Structure 1
């Protein structure tokens, strides 16, 4: 099932004319583009001069969240130079009443993932590290990350029976085994999760939403898009929340990739205390544990599936890192 998105025919004539003026070429044709898991207005534009363009934003039937994050993403493209080497080229924006579109480089002629190779995953680690190094000097241009919703998820599962049942329901026939596992480990997980936002670790500019649908590889170099959630936060958060996306899609696990990131950061004098890796692993698992089992969201029909896909690797990584017993296997519907 695909997300509901507006058609190009829904775009007002005035907005189309603004695009043509900005790009100095008429639009020959346009098509909707699907990707990601939300109802963002997204189009590929074919210009008369042979160029193609990617337009994204908010318009007809867009949800409030689209409108909230759009100016945040635009501000990143306009004001933060650290993202330039690792993001699509930004051509500006256009708007009329009820519509606002960002105009970006079209990345259709690039390599998408999955499938993941180990080489691509390692390259992603190196390129994220390089972005993190560049971004340190600009981290004050963005708001600080909030710990709400990322440092209290295991505590929520412990204290809220409904949340507990959503999580245990993911295991279906193995629910009793999962319940025994949860009761055995949750008091260990809660205080570790709470350490995610500690200030005595490297902080900087982070993307905060790195996963396969928000990236591609251009000439074997990583390109990240969807910068709406970028903020100032623990650097290890970016890769910690990225690892389950890679492993869940058949790629290398965190244990194979984190050393490459650490090596690149250490070459620039940045090291991570032991608690940081444990905290991000546990927080990642907790984030997906409180979401993957909940009812589907109609405007985000694939989201729960993706969250389940990432929960399994996140639980495995955190259990392995802490020397805890493994939970039973998740059941996919």
Structure 2
């Protein structure tokens, strides 16, 4: 693997018209894409993301389309693009000196919210898919209704609670407004954003689409609360349909076998589900869920992220 990294770093330096000084791998990120920081002899450095399979190749081409056609301070600067048919390479500004996953203050939360509103107000390329086209994958409670056992195994509620609440949850997510012409990032979490001077920069645009930009705010709020921020309904009150949609997304995935995703992703999804489900319960006026996450986590050998 080091030989492949070395060859990739050398190729990127040549693409930039520079001589390679050094490179290092980057561990951040949940996808199998290959990531490097490449430093050149002129003192500049760049972030490199290279495809490793057909799925990451498609994701990188989506990101390239966004970086090449959308303009805003919330985007990293694209330095180069290598359109290899099998393994495209995206080269961006190096953000390793930015502030990542910082302690949340009111000021920083406000800056992110302002940035997400700016993203939504930015014209979206017409080729991006519609968020509405993803409604089936966002209808998590409907999936839980059809196959409840994976969700119940997480341990957040009893089968009786789910039986009494599932119709309200499904009805609420069905009424969520997904249509719109806003630019949507589609995967806002603290590990996908950073603070660089007066900019809030969002990375990993492979799920970008057009739709209701409020989904980006709703999707961010569970991880924000996990990291010490306020409960979701403090920042997004009176949004029961979005609360149901976000909680349903995690409910349909958190209990699936680890072999379908990494153990880190599953642990994060369970933690997000805990927050999002409590939000949906409050927003819809449902009885509190009656499960014991700690017991289920112990039984399954799972721990929530710190």
TM-score of the aligned structures, taking structure 2 as reference length: 0.88
Superposed, which structure 2 residues align to 1:127-138 within 5 Å? 127-133=115-121, 135=122, 137-138=123-124
Cα distance, 1:150–1:193 mapped onto 2, change above 3 Å: farther
Q: Deviations over 1:65-96 (max 9, x none)?
A: 21221111111111122xx3101110121255
In structure 2, the partner of 1:217 is: 195
Moved over 6 A (4+): none
- 1:10 aligned to which of 4, 10, 15: 4
Q: Deviations over 1:174-231 (max 9, x none)?
A: 7xx52222112111111111122454xx541100111112111112531101111111
Q: Would you say the 8 A contact 2:187–2:207 is kept in 1?
A: yes
- 1:66 aligned to which of 56, 61, 72: 56
In structure 2, the partner of 1:245 is: 223
Question: 2 CA distance for matches of 1:203 and 1:196?
Answer: 15
Question: 5+ unaligned residues in a row in structure 1: which ranges?
Answer: 1-6, 260-273
| Superposed CA RMSD | 2.2
Q: Deviations over 1:265-290 (max 9, x none)?
A: xxxxxxxxx6xx22111011011001
Q: Would you say the 8 A contact 1:39–1:299 is kept in 2?
A: no
- Say which SS state the counterpart of residue 140 (structure 1) adopts: coil
- Say which SS state the counterpart of residue 130 (structure 1) adopts: helix
Q: Deviations over 1:39-76 (max 9, x none)?
A: 11100011111111100021xxx233212211111111
Q: Would you say the 8 A contact 1:204–1:235 is kept in 2?
A: yes
- Say which SS state the counterpart of residue 109 (structure 2) adopts: helix
Superposed, which structure 2 residues align to 1:145-224 within 5 Å? 145=131, 146-160=133-147, 164-171=148-155, 178-197=158-177, 199=179, 203-224=181-202
Q: Which has the higher contact order (CA 8 A, sep 6+)?
A: 1
Cα distance, 1:113–1:198 mapped onto 2, change above 3 Å: closer
2:9 matches 1:47? no
Cα distance, 1:302–1:114 mapped onto 2, change above 3 Å: farther
TM-score of the aligned structures, taking structure 1 as reference length: 0.81
Q: Would you say the 8 A contact 1:8–1:43 is kept in 2?
A: no
Question: 5+ unaligned residues in a row in structure 2: which ranges?
Answer: none
